[in-house]
Structure 1
Amino acid sequence: MADTMQLSKSEIVAGELKKMQSELRAEKLPLREAVAETCRILFAFGHDSGLSGQITARAEQPGTYWTQRLGLGFDEIKSDNLLLVNEDLEVLEGKGMPNPANRFHSWLYRARPDLNCIVHSHAPHASALAMLEVPLVISHMDTCVLYDQVAFLEKWPGIPVGNEEGEIISGALGDKKAILLSHHGLLVGGASVEEACVLGVMFERAARLHLLAMAAGEIKPIPPELGREAQRWVSTQKRFEATFAYYSRRAGRELAI
């Protein structure tokens, strides 16, 4: 006889979240390997834009983080060619130079101690939306991991290599986890590498859905309480780790072709 058919939705949700904590498992990569795998995942999901875009993750020493070497594409990143840099972008470990645009990451890490990984890319659909100076609308269940989490920088401050751009972007992000940068691209931050990677992939999917829906008619909002419920449902570290592991397997298959 069924034991759960009389439970309320809130009771079922709480029970399933608890079950996922104990039963949803995925191999967790060491930090540098996770950063490198994030680069390859983003490439496989269409975020490639030549040498543009940066992925960074806080390192053990305060004020330092790992990032890719300028001159390599997302698909060429490995754990052993990452660079350890400080806030001034001085290389502490590794060979080569980081992208000078990493400077605004330094500002974001200063402003947001809760963020341990930042993904910035010029993915095509997010970039197309940025060209229209239109804020990203989250209005589909699949993308609710970003519900009420996307800020918008309406005016392009130019190439992000100065301290001014770092102050502007970190200020515009506020307490959100993601931002659409007009005439530029997307940026997301997470408490873990896995979270930032998942948010980056979903941001581009949300932008694609936004453009498709906008071409067909007016996008209808979802009820805020349901959007927040969905955001909480998919925003657990266990869920991020399991999704990241799937993205990694998928990227491995696609890059091997």
Structure 2
Amino acid sequence: MKQPEPLHDLLHDLVHAFQILAMDGQGSGISGHLTARLPGARTFWSIPYGYGFEEATADALIESDFDLRTVSGTLPCNPTLNIHTEIYNARPEVCCILHTHSEASLALGVIGSNLKPVTQSGALFYEDIVLFDEFEGIVLDKKEGASIASRLGPNRAILLRHHGSVVVGNSIADATIAATVLEFAARVQLQAMSAGTPKLLPTAEARQTKSFLQRPDVVDLRWQLLVRQARRHNPNFSYERTV
């Protein structure tokens, strides 16, 4: 059965995002989460519990409701996705969420440090990332997810103490690009901190840079480059849904 165009585009972009993030080293085994939904939807799409990012073919994707019940597909949803459902509940404009345990972002959280504006690309997160300076164990219920959503507030990203990061976006492209930028910026910040005291970007210049990086044409160009890179990296991969 032919899918409606918005759903087809969402699934098409979601599979590419999984492959891009796997290529970037952000899969985190079976512990990473990437989800997306159509605007305002009370369901979301992801890979089944136990799958890695690199295994995310279009046919493998499942749709789940906010009680983490599979509604399209047969395999189970990840039981820790209450982080996502509570953010979706709190942020109607958010259409894509990524939670990963990528090394540099995780390391910043471990030492209790937030990302600072020390790189041009990292200015994407200027005044837009917070630190959740608590650890509540595995997020298995809505209360814990709500705590993270509350601390995230209106921001683009949150670093979780001992637990990695969460990045949100109003599109799959927006969130995916931001996730790759966050890991790069965190890695550079850690290297700079090991060598001395990093100098921060001036406020006006950081805001101007952030505004440029958020322009739709810039986001689209960066997304299309990532898509081309993913396809070259894995040319025989199936990006289209057949079931």
TM surpasses 0.5 = yes
Out of 170, 184, 192, which is 2:163 matched to?
A: 184
The corresponding residue for 1:113 is 92
Counterparts in 2 of 1:39-50, with a 5 A limit?
39-50=18-29
The corresponding residue for 2:195 is 216
Out of 170, 176, 180, which is 2:149 matched to?
A: 170
* Structure 1 Cα separation of the partners of residues 39 and 193 of structure 2: 44
Q: For residue 173 of structure 2, what is the amino acid of its counterpart?
A: E
The corresponding residue for 2:139 is 160
Instruction: State the 1:237 CA deviation.
Output: 2.4
Retained in 2: the 8 A contact 1:55–1:119?
yes
Count how many residue pairs are aligned between Structure 1 and Structure 2. 229
Q: For residue 130 of structure 2, what is the amino acid of its counterpart?
A: A
* Structure 1 Cα separation of the partners of residues 49 and 94 of structure 2: 23
Q: Matched residue of 1:101: which SS? A: coil
* Structure 2 Cα separation of the partners of residues 48 and 114 of structure 1: 25
Instruction: State the 1:74 CA deviation.
Output: 0.5
Q: For residue 78 of structure 2, what is the amino acid of its counterpart?
A: N
Out of 194, 214, 217, which is 1:238 matched to?
A: 217
Q: Matched residue of 2:89: which SS? A: helix
Percent identical pairs in the alignment equals 31
Retained in 1: the 8 A contact 2:109–2:131?
no
* Structure 2 Cα separation of the partners of residues 78 and 244 of structure 1: 19
* Structure 2 Cα separation of the partners of residues 148 and 185 of structure 1: 19
Tell me, yes or no, if structure 1 residue 199 matches structure 2 residue 184: no
The corresponding residue for 1:59 is 38
Q: Matched residue of 2:93: which SS? A: coil
Tell me, yes or no, if structure 1 residue 30 matches structure 2 residue 9: yes
* Structure 2 Cα separation of the partners of residues 152 and 131 of structure 1: 11
Out of 65, 69, 76, which is 1:97 matched to?
A: 76
Tell me, yes or no, if structure 1 residue 250 matches structure 2 residue 233: no
For structure 1, the 5+ residue unaligned runs are 1-28
* Structure 1 Cα separation of the partners of residues 209 and 39 of structure 2: 33
* Structure 2 Cα separation of the partners of residues 240 and 200 of structure 1: 13
* Structure 1 Cα separation of the partners of residues 61 and 100 of structure 2: 17
* Structure 2 Cα separation of the partners of residues 95 and 133 of structure 1: 40
The corresponding residue for 1:134 is 113
Instruction: State the 1:160 CA deviation.
Output: 1.2
TM-score, structure 2 length as denominator?
A: 0.90
Give RMSD over aligned pairs: 1.6
For structure 2, the 5+ residue unaligned runs are 1-7, 237-243
Instruction: State the 1:30 CA deviation.
Output: 0.8
Q: Matched residue of 1:252: which SS? A: helix
Larger Rg belongs to: 1
Instruction: State the 1:226 CA deviation.
Output: 1.1
